[in-house]
Amino acid sequence: MHTNIPDLFNGLWQDYVAITPSAHKIHALLMSVDTISKQKQEIVNDHIALRTFDIEKVGLPKLAQHFINLGYEQKGDYDFAAKKLTAQHFEHPDPTIPKVFISELRVKELSDTAQNIIGKLVAQIDAEAVHADNFLYSGTHWQVSSEDYKALLKESEYAAWMSAWGYRANHFTVSVNHLPKISETSTSKLEQVNTLLKEAGFMLNTSGGEIKGGKDVCLAQSSTMADSANVTFSDGELSIPSCFYEFAERFPLPSGEIYTGFVAASADKIFESTNAS
Ligand code: NI
């Protein structure tokens, strides 16, 4: 396991941008805006998200341990019944350190066919590898056929994505709070970011609307649709959705403190950013 947080996030980021070329372009776009405020532009990461299967060897607690060891604490619990997912989020006592959202697929709720495919994948992982420094950005530890990928895709997009991409950040998230206003208009900062992205040709996830949540739930989120990248399956290569970029604007609770949790109804739609568009 890593002994310092910057090394872990640097490893996650390098792996993520290698299959998500849009991330660099989005950074350049956000940095290039000639702001009304003339504030210094900086891109702050609100959170990353990781995915796994709820099999003991690689379950959510195994991924979380990498962060617990670095001082993170478990906060919210989330359930996504239709997608058969359980999730938790983790925060570091230092609020400038990115939050972490980890979900796991409840494999036993899938068909026997899907359970068998996933069981074979997880069986190929060396149990020791789960504790390695680079495990959270180590990708797949197995061979999978495009036939099995497609079989999983029929039942669970999440399962199919995991079979192809394995262990890595599913997305990074720009903290919109830390961006200066892009224009003088009265639209929200997140809406301004969305407009900028669309004008530059990025495709946004429109499931549940371009903006999920809002001030009323203290968190507004949007995301791009995932980039495409080539995956080498045991029987050939396919270009499939890889990872995406999210944008989060957080609002204060009645207490005045900025909300640091997640909103299940919004996260449910964000998962669909890796659907084939
Ligand atoms: Ni997210």
Location of structure tokens 């957080």: 250
| Distance between CA atoms of residues 257 and 179, nearest Å | 19
Q: pTM of this prediction?
A: 0.96
Residue 72 CA, ligand 1 centroid: distance in Å = 17
Write down the residue that tokens 């980021």 correspond to: 13
CA of residue 266 to ligand 1 center, whole Å:
9
Q: How far is the CA of 175 from the centre of ligand 1 (A)?
A: 11
The neighbour count for residue 69, using CB atoms within 10 Å, is: 13
Looking at the DSSP bridge assignments, the partners of residue 103 are 51, 87
**Which of 272, 259, 271 has the alpha carbon at shortest distance from 76?**
259
Give residue-wise pLDDT tens across range 181-228. Answer: 888 888 899 999 999 999 999 999 999 999 999 999 999 999 999 999
| Tokens at 23, concatenated | 């991330």
Q: How many CB atoms lie within 10 A of CB 206?
A: 12
> How is 103-160 classified by DSSP, letter by letter?
EEE-GGGS-HHHHHHHHHHHHTS-GGGGGSTTGGG-B--S---HHHHHHHHHH-HHHH
Domains located in the chain, CATH noted: 5-274 (3.10.180.50)
Q: Which of 211, 213, 217, 277 has its CA nearest to residue 252?
A: 217
User: What does the alpha-carbon distance between residue 244 and residue 171 come to, in Å, rounded to a whole number?
Assistant: 5
**How does pLDDT run across 213-270, given as a tens digit for each residue?**
999 999 999 999 999 999 999 999 999 999 999 999 999 999 999 999 999 999 999 9
For the chain, give the mean pLDDT.
Answer: 95
Q: Residue 57 Cα, ligand 1 centroid: separation in angstroms? A: 24
Residue 246 C-alpha to ligand 1 middle, in angstroms? 6
* 84 contacts 78 by C-beta, under 8 angstroms: no
Helices (H) and strands (E) in the chain, counts: 8, 10
Measure CA of the first residue to CA of the last residue in the chain; give whole Å. 36
How much distance in Å is there from the Cα of 236 to the middle of ligand 1? 31
Report how far residue 176's alpha carbon sits from residue 190's, in angstroms, rounded to the nearest whole number. 6
Q: Token pair of 166, please?
A: 């394995």
In whole angstroms, what is the distance from residue 206 CA to residue 197 CA?
13
E strands, 131-227, are: 171-175, 212-214, 219-223
Q: Encode pLDDT of 130-177 as tens digits.
A: 999 999 999 999 999 999 999 999 999 999 999 999 999 999 999 999
Q: What is each CA distance from 252 to 73, 76, 194, 261, in whole angstroms?
A: 21, 17, 22, 11
Separation of 82 CA from ligand 1 center, angstroms? 18
pLDDT of residue 200: 96
For 79, phi then psi, to 5°, come to -130, 130
- Distance separating alpha carbons of residues 219 and 211, to the nearest angstrom: 10
pLDDT at 127: 94
